[in-house]
Amino acid sequence: MSKETKYTEDNIRSLDWKEHIRMRPGMYIGKLGDGSSPDDGIYILLKEVLDNSIDEYVMGAGKTIEISIQGDKVIVRDYGRGIPLGKVVDVVSKMNTGGKYDSRAFKKSVGLNGVGTKAVNALSTFFKVESTRDGKSASAEFEKGNLITEESLDETSRRRGTKVSFVPDNSIFKHYKYRSEYVAKMLKNYVYLNPGLTIIFNGEKYFSENGLRDLLSDNINEDDRLYEIVHLKGDDIEVAITHSKTQYSEEYHSFVNGQHTTQGGTHQAAFREAVVKTIREYYGKNYEASDIRKSIVSAISIKVMEPVFESQTKTKLGSTEMGGNLPTVRTYINDFVKTKLDNFLHKNPTTAESLQRKILQAERERKDLSGIRKLAKERAKKASLHNKKLRDCRIHLTDSKKDRNLESTLFITEGDSASGSITKSRDVNTQAVFSLRGKPLNSYNMSKKIVYENEEFNLLQAALNIEESLEDLRYNNIVIATDADVDGMHIRLLLITFFLQFFPEVIKEGHLYILQTPLFRVRNKKETIYCYSDQERRDAIQKLSGKPEITRFKGLGEISPDEFVHFIGDDIRLDPVMLDKDKSIEELLSFYMGKNTPQRQEFIIDNLKVELDAVEEEL
């Protein structure tokens, strides 16, 4: 019989605010990460500081925000009212202290609990806040939440406002790097939601005149729009809608009080419902909801009094009430969409005709595919149960969809040996493995029918649960894990083509990655270094000196599970798959996967020359 563990008063601990944040950072900023994902912690730190500056603009104070990210140091400067000088230290270091508890100072604010800047402070090796107002200023500098210095000036010529500088703690955010593409997307969303606001990031200006209309304009190419963007505005709501000519699934951009609710929530569900109800009533036809919403690309922003989010990172709205004397979120959105969208369709019969043709086309395609889809779903269910194409993770056995989305990862591998290595090395709680058989089909220019007829595509779609909408995506991170050889690169390209052709929003929303695994292992009796490039290999040889043992990994299956666990654990290296903002998806697919062989050959030869020149210069 095992000895009972003693449980006394000595086991009870009280942590101060900074200790608790540093011990449980996930409670405050979601996951940590290294910056390869748009929802990694370092971007949440930036967002938490930036939200305060945005709230100043919303309250009519300060039209410009300046942001600088140089290396690991972040600086955010606004020209708002400035923090009251006597409270500069308190608002960034005392829990339950802040201006947003007073609804007179901040109405419909993004941040309500005053936790954000405290979390940034506690999770930074350097944190400095400076406030200027009424010709005076005060500042305070911290290290990991501990106050280092505090200063005040009775006279200053600086413009009013707040400046926050911080350096994330690299013992918490390991090997982190800010990716300007993710920062830019965040800033664009802020200016779309706040027309008239100017944000300057590392010298580049972001500004929007037309709000959510501009958001859709930047996210769907003009040639791919079925009709001109429908832009509807009310006191506490704004909506933009169009349909894509080529995209198959639904795409939503939803916001609450300026916060990008990437996981949707009550407002997004109400909006989807309202669009279907309004269109059915307008045409007097009981169309299937999936036919109405197929290929929709839309955005909705609402403002709610004291919103309730499902986590500190505010990615999903839980509120059912608008606040004040307004009706529920569902009723408010339904009434707005019914009135405004119905009026728009009556005044724009050409748009209404285009939309109805799209719905009827979707209906025909659905009926044509009904038999194939039924068989495909049966095959997918059978494969999941018996063929072990998908080795799922335990987190999907829980009831918390929020946790599943934030934490779960699906590795798409090639062959039994590679999938075997990852399966033995993975974290079974959060990491799943999908094993490909052979090379996928080149799906460029093919219809959705091929997804159901092709076993690999059908099973992959079923595993991800993205047939109808990205809202039901089962894994936050989809990681292509192939060998670093020609065949592996080809498989990567074919999988990326599949997502671009049928589910581009997976890439647009930052869910698709390439797993980087080491090419070399360099070791002596005392130390082992894993190298991801020739340069790293040369550096490792020089560091270890003598004649270290050098191993070249030819494929993922050659890496033992004991070693592989490092490459998909804390030291994982992921390269996000990103879209070129200057090229449409059709242009990308046509060039890389179409029949323009001479142009591709010229491109390869030109880039090969550049690569060879770089190698010769290095040698």
- Give tens-digit pLDDT for 494-540: 999 899 888 888 888 889 999 988 888 899 888 888 888 888 888 99
- Contact between 418 and 402 under an 8 Å Cβ cutoff? The reply is no
Residue 455 above 50 pLDDT? yes
- According to the model, what pLDDT value does residue 238 have? 95
Q: What sign for the dihedral angle of Cα 166, 179, 175, 412?
A: positive
The answer to whether position 144 is within a domain reads yes
In this structure, the answer to whether residues 89 and 116 fall within a common structural domain is yes
Cα separation of 392 and 432, whole Å?
Answer: 5
Given a cut of 50, is residue 102 above it in pLDDT? no
Work out the pLDDT band at 220, boundaries 50, 70, 90: confident
**How far, in Å, CA of 162 to CA of 160, rounded?**
7
Residue 98 domain-assigned (yes or no)? yes
User: Which one-letter DSSP state was computed for residue 100?
Assistant: G
pLDDT for 329-354, tens place per residue? 899 999 999 999 999 999 999 999 99
Is the domain of 613 the same as that of 571?
no
Strand order in the sheet with 73-78: 146-153, 136-143, 124-133, 161-168, 73-78, 64-70, 198-201, 204-207
58 and 179 inside one domain: yes
Average pLDDT along the chain: 83
- Compute the distance between CA of residue 480 and CA of residue 434 in angstroms, rounded to an integer: 10
615/235: higher pLDDT = 235
Task: Give the type of residue at 330.
Answer: R
C-alpha–C-alpha distance, residues 469 and 290, integer Å: 10
pLDDT value of position 242: 95
Q: Please say which residue of 147, 179, 207 terminates a domain.
A: 207
Amino acid occupying residue 67: I
CA angle 11, 17, 19 (to 5 degrees): 60
Q: How far is CA 352 from CA 356, 361, 559, in A?
A: 6, 14, 58
The C-alpha atoms of residue 223 and residue 428 are separated, in whole angstroms, by: 44
Whether residue 543 sits in one domain with residue 415: no
The owner of tokens 């200006």 is: 205
- Tell me which of 150, 178, 207 is where a domain ends: 207
Write out the two tokens for 297.
Answer: 């690309």
Please give the pLDDT value at position 280: 96
DSSP 364-415: HHHHHHHHHHHHHHHHHHHIIIII-SEE--GGGGSS-HHHHHHH-EEEEEEH
71 has a pLDDT exceeding 70: yes
What is the C-alpha separation between 618 and 348, in angstroms, rounded? 62
Tokens of 9: 């008063």
Share of the chain above pLDDT 90, in %: 35
pLDDT band at residue 365 under the 50/70/90 scheme: confident
Q: Is the pLDDT of residue 275 over 80?
A: yes
The whole-angstrom separation of Cα 539 and Cα 531 is 9
Contact residues for 10 (Cβ-Cβ < 8 A; gap 6+):
none
Cα–Cα distance, 10 to 417 (Å, whole number):
50
Question: Do 272 and 224 fall within a single domain?
Answer: yes
Amino acid making up residue 97: T
What's at 175, amino acid-wise? H
Number of other residues whose CB lies within 10 A of the CB of residue 104 = 6
CATH code, domain with 304 = 3.30.230.10
Q: From the centroid of its chain, how far is CA 578?
A: 11
Q: 313 and 437: one domain?
A: no
Instruction: Give dist(CA 125, CA 120) in Å, integer.
Output: 10
Q: Within this chain, do residues 152 and 290 fall inside the same structural domain, yes or no?
A: no
Task: Let me know if residue 12 belongs to a domain.
Answer: no
Does residue 298 fall inside a structural domain? yes
Residues 6+ positions from 441 with CB-CB distance below 8 Å: 450, 454, 456, 457, 494
pLDDT digits (tens, 9 = 90+) for 385-409: 555 678 888 876 554 444 445 678 9
Q: Residues 245-257: pLDDT tens digits? A: 888 888 899 999 8
Domain that holds residue 194: 17-207
Assess if residue 377 is contained within a domain: no
The pLDDT of residue 299 is 95
What pLDDT was estimated at residue 13? Answer: 56
pLDDT of residue 277 exceeding 50 = yes
Domain finish residue from 137, 172, 207: 207
pLDDT (0 to 100) of residue 600: 67
The reply to whether 9 falls in a domain is no
Share of the chain above pLDDT 70, in %: 85
Going by C-beta distance under 8 Å and a sequence separation of 6 or more, which residues neighbour residue 250? 272, 293, 294, 295, 296, 468, 469, 470, 471
pLDDT of residue 289: 93
Tokens encoding 371: 């038999």
Q: Domain for residue 237, yes or no?
A: yes
Provide φ and ψ at 585, rounded to 5°.
-60, -40
Tokens 């936790």 sit on residue: 115
Longest CA–CA span in the chain (Å) reads 81
- Dist. CA 315–CA 332, nearest whole Å: 21
CB atoms within 10 A of CB 487: 13
| Residue 106 confidence (pLDDT) above 70 | no
Nearest to 554 by CA among 417, 357, 375: 417
pLDDT at 578: 84
User: In total, how many domains does the chain have?
Assistant: 5
Beta carbons within 10 angstroms of residue 273's beta carbon? 15
Give the pLDDT of residue 439.
84
Indicate whether 111 pLDDT > 70.
no
Q: What is the DSSP string of 122-143?
A: HTEEEEEEEEEETTEEEEEEEE
Rounded Cα–Cα distance for residues 300 and 101 (Å): 26
The predicted pLDDT at position 454 comes to: 85
Same domain assignment for residues 195 and 56: yes
Range with the lowest mean pLDDT among 75-84, 192-201, 295-304, 579-588?
579-588
- Residue 67 and residue 126 in one domain: yes
Closest alpha carbon to 43 in 56, 58, 27, 31: 31
Q: Which of 91-95, 300-304, 593-597 has the lowest average pLDDT?
A: 593-597
The backbone torsions φ and ψ at residue 264, rounded to the nearest 5 degrees and listed phi first, read 75, -135
- Average of per-residue pLDDT across 593-597: 72
Is the same domain home to 254 and 203? no
Tens digits of per-residue pLDDT, 462-497? Answer: 888 887 777 778 888 999 998 877 888 888 889 998
Verify that 566 and 512 share a domain, yes or no.
yes
Identify whether 10 is part of a domain: no
Report the CATH number at residue 154. 3.30.565.10
247 and 258, same domain (yes or no): yes
- Highest-pLDDT range among 236-240, 315-319, 447-451: 236-240
Q: How far apart are CA 180 and CA 389, in angstroms?
A: 36
Give the range among 236-245, 280-289, 351-360, 455-464 with minimum mean pLDDT. Answer: 455-464
Inter-residue contact 251 to 297 (CB < 8 Å): yes
The Cα 463–Cα 384 span in angstroms is 8
The length of the chain is 619
Tell me, what's the pLDDT at 110? 53
Tell me 295's DSSP state.
T
Q: What is the DSSP secondary-structure string of 305-337?
A: SS--BSSTT--SB---B--TT--BHHHHHHHHH
